[in-house]
Structure 1
Amino acid sequence: MAKKLVIIDTDCGIDDAQAIMMALSAPDVKILGVTCCFGNTSLENVCQNVLRVLAVCKREEIPVFQGLGGPLVGATELPKDHFGSDGLGDILVDRDPDWRQKIQKEHAVNAMIRLVSENPNQVSLVALGPLTNLAMAVRLDSGFPDRLKDLFIMGGNMEGKGNVTLCGEFNFVTDPESAYIVLDEFRCPTHIATMEYCSRNKLTWEFFQEMLNQDSAAARFMKLLTSKCGAYSPAAMKTKRDVHFGPGFVSYDSYAMAACIDGTVVTKSTECGVHVELQGSVCRGMMALDPTDMLKKPHRVVVMTECDLEKFSRLLAKSLRQP
């Protein structure tokens, strides 16, 4: 059976790292490349973070490409405390001074277009950060989305509840124009793991601890990354996530990756047109669903709503059993 061909576009923070490990642990997945964009941290940190994850998992043969370092419009505003200033909890002190030599010379957007052109209608693209690289790809090659097999996005929201603004989710708010372009112009099958989907299908903190206590290099690495990070502390997250969704452990980007690896992980979804709002001080970056087709969108996306938590937890646990 042929392996599923995947490109991962990431702003590699801690949950991105876990999602990448999930793909690395899937026997029927072949990662053609990892394309990097700004988001959880600077582009330079993202590139180094991806290289570190691949090294821990002994998969350094996978090419890593450097992409765009800021949004299409406006200034770059990076988070200051969620995953630390470096995106991986500010724990890693032994950074590789030669990391630039390990990054491919080809720009991430060009690599994305090339890899999909070489494998038309066979590549699944998993977008785990702001959609800047994807938006630029369709601007450089309008036929790019038509050659994708499908697209999986972690981002956006369903109900106007935000996690960085009143109404907006981080990945979409970080570059609303790119989110608008991708959801308006990508006509390939598109699947979205929204903030609400991830948060409502959380796992227990007990499972999180059991997962980290596995005897493997990947588990020890993840335990180190999360050891001082407030986003992985039940006490620290109580006043944040519990307000809307109750207590529990959420590895946001892993939900989109799990859906790509095994579609049966998603047990319920809604298919409809969507719109990303670009105006206003309150709703800019918010994703609105259009189940009654008021906007007459020519393309409908699949918005995930319910998850098989047993299958999802197995994929998460397996991701930390390597190498």
Structure 2
Amino acid sequence: MESKKLLLLDVDCGLDDAQAIMMALAAPNVQVLGITCTHGNTTIDNVCRNVLRVLKACQKSEIPVFRGACGSLLGQTLNASIYHGKDGLGDVPDPNAPGLEHLQSEHAVNAMIRIVTEHSSQISLVAVGPLTNVALAIKMDPTFSTKLKHLYIMGGNMEGRGNTTICGEFNFMSDPEAASIVLNQFVCPTYIATWEYTLRNSLPWEFFNEWINQDAQKARFMKEITGHIGKYAKVKQGDEEVHSEAGFVSCDSFAVAAAVDETVVTEYMQCGVNVELQGALTRGMMVLDTLNLQKKQNRAFVMVKCDLEKFKKLMMSALK
């Protein structure tokens, strides 16, 4: 019997983080050793509460959850409440939500270093929020990335296409310095699902409807917390509402899917990557060194093409 893939998830739990966590928990070949929380889509306390809620919905409350960084390295914070809701999970009241007393007392960054050290060369870290915790881990333990099997990131961009600023994707814009530290100092194989990659592989809203209407408790939970995003399925053209071209994009699930089953990604571009920190228009943008002018030792694998049928299957089984 093949031993299970060991994953650590670092999340800023909004809707797509919840979807990504549920995908990892549903995969029979995966063991999630812990979930670390970072600021991002919502406040750190909301992120922690949301992770506990997702674990409860999946009947996996035994998985340890750790509270991490409450802001970026330089202190500015963003949030994504317009899409995710103020609380990060669609602002649906949940009177039975587990409280913060269920968190571990150990700080997320310490936990990350400890768990990775205990399982040296066996763990894939999947980071789907701002990279603050991950950057702090390598600052506290410079050997951290040498003990990781893989790092999977959802964030950044490959064509300068932003969703928060002109050229900035949300996770990288939320802490550009942290993203820069991680992309420049990590030596383990690094796989990146960029904003453009997720957009290019959006799913039809018909799939979304079928997905949340499965007859299962997890699907009912997802239907409840995503109740408001239906408005993103339709856009106004004159006086008419028509289907949005964008489709349903579960950004963070693309990074988890690659970690769960590497055959989901059918094409990568391998090159040195960096983050622009100074540009007036381009701060936070991920820069691809396709000419290899920087002669980087660790060149990242930037995801280019996806096996959408395999991805859909992983999405469906997440809510079964």
Do the aligned residues in 2 keep the contact of 1:84 with 1:229 (CA within 8 Å)? no
**Is 1:145 aligned to 2:145, yes or no?**
yes
1:85-121, CA deviations, whole angstroms, 9 ceiling, x for partnerless residues?
111111134264x622100000000000000000000
TM-score by length of 2: 0.95
| 1:45-56 mapped onto 2 (5 Å cutoff) | 45-56=46-57
Which aligned runs of 4 or more in structure 1 are off by greater than 4 angstroms? none
Deviations 1:63-96 (A, max 9, x none): 0000000000132232341211111111134264
Helix, strand or coil at the partner of 1:303 = strand
2:59 — aligned with what? Answer: 58
Q: How does 1:100-139 map to 2 (within 5 A)?
A: 100-139=100-139
2:240 matched residue in structure 1: none
Residues 293-318 of structure 1: CA deviation (Å, up to 9, x unaligned): 01222210000011000000000000
Aligned to 1:212: 212
Residue 44 of structure 1 corresponds to: 45
- Alignment coverage as a number of residue pairs: 313
Structure 1 gaps of 5+ residues are 239-244
SS in structure 2 at match of 1:156: coil
Write the mapping of 1:208-247 to structure 2, written as runs, cut at 5 A.
208-229=208-229, 233-236=232-235, 246-247=245-246
Secondary structure in 2 aligned to 1:233? helix
Q: Is the 8 A contact 2:9 2:127 kept in 1?
A: yes
What are the superposed Cα offsets for residues 146-193 of structure 1, whole Å, 9 maximum, x if unpaired?
A: 000000000000001100100010000000000000000011000000
Inter-partner Cα distance in structure 2 for 1:246 and 1:110: 43
SS in 1 for 2:55: helix
Q: Deviations over 1:204-258 (max 9, x none)?
A: 111110011100111001101111136x6311599xxxxxx94311100000000
Give the CA deviation at 1:280. 2.3
The one-letter amino acid paired with 1:251 is S
Amino acid corresponding to residue 163 of structure 1 in structure 2 = N
**Partners in 2 of 1:80 and 1:51 — Cα distance?**
19
CA contact (8 A) 2:18 2:51 kept: yes
1: CA distance between counterparts of 2:159 and 2:190?
19
Aligned pairs for 1:68-83 (under 5 A) are 68-83=69-84
Q: Which residue of 2 aligns with 1:315?
A: 314
Match of 1:241 in 2: none
Which range moves more in the overlay, 69-78 or 268-277? 69-78
8 Å CA contact 1:123–1:149 kept in 2: the answer is yes
Q: Write the distance in 2 (CA, Å) between the matches of 1:61 and 1:74.
A: 32
Q: CA deviation at 1:4?
A: 0.5
Structure 2 Cα separation of the partners of residues 237 and 49 of structure 1:
32
Q: Residue 242 of structure 1 corresponds to which residue in structure 2?
A: none
Aligned CA RMSD, in angstroms, stands at 1.5
With normalisation by structure 1, the TM-score equals 0.94
* SS at 1:181 equivalent: helix
Give 1:27's aligned amino acid: P
Q: Which residue of 1 aligns with 2:281?
A: 282
**Equivalent pair of 2:81/2:88 in contact (CA under 8 Å):** no
SS of 1:228's equivalent? helix
Identity %: 56
Query: Would the alpha carbon gap of residues 134 and 292 (structure 1) be closer, same or farther in structure 2, given more than 3 Å must change?
Result: same
Contact between 2:193 and 2:302, CA under 8 Å: does it hold in 1? yes
**Cα distance, 1:42 vs. partner?**
0.2
Instruction: State the alpha-carbon separation in 1 of the partners of residues 235 and 226 from structure 2.
Output: 12
Residue 15 (structure 2) pairs with residue 14 (structure 1): yes
* Unaligned residue ranges in structure 2 (runs of 5+): 238-243
Corresponding residue SS for 2:18: helix
Mapped partners of 1:71, 1:237: distance in 2: 36
> Residues 71 and 77 of structure 2 are in contact (CA less than 8 Å); yes or no, is this contact kept in structure 1?
yes
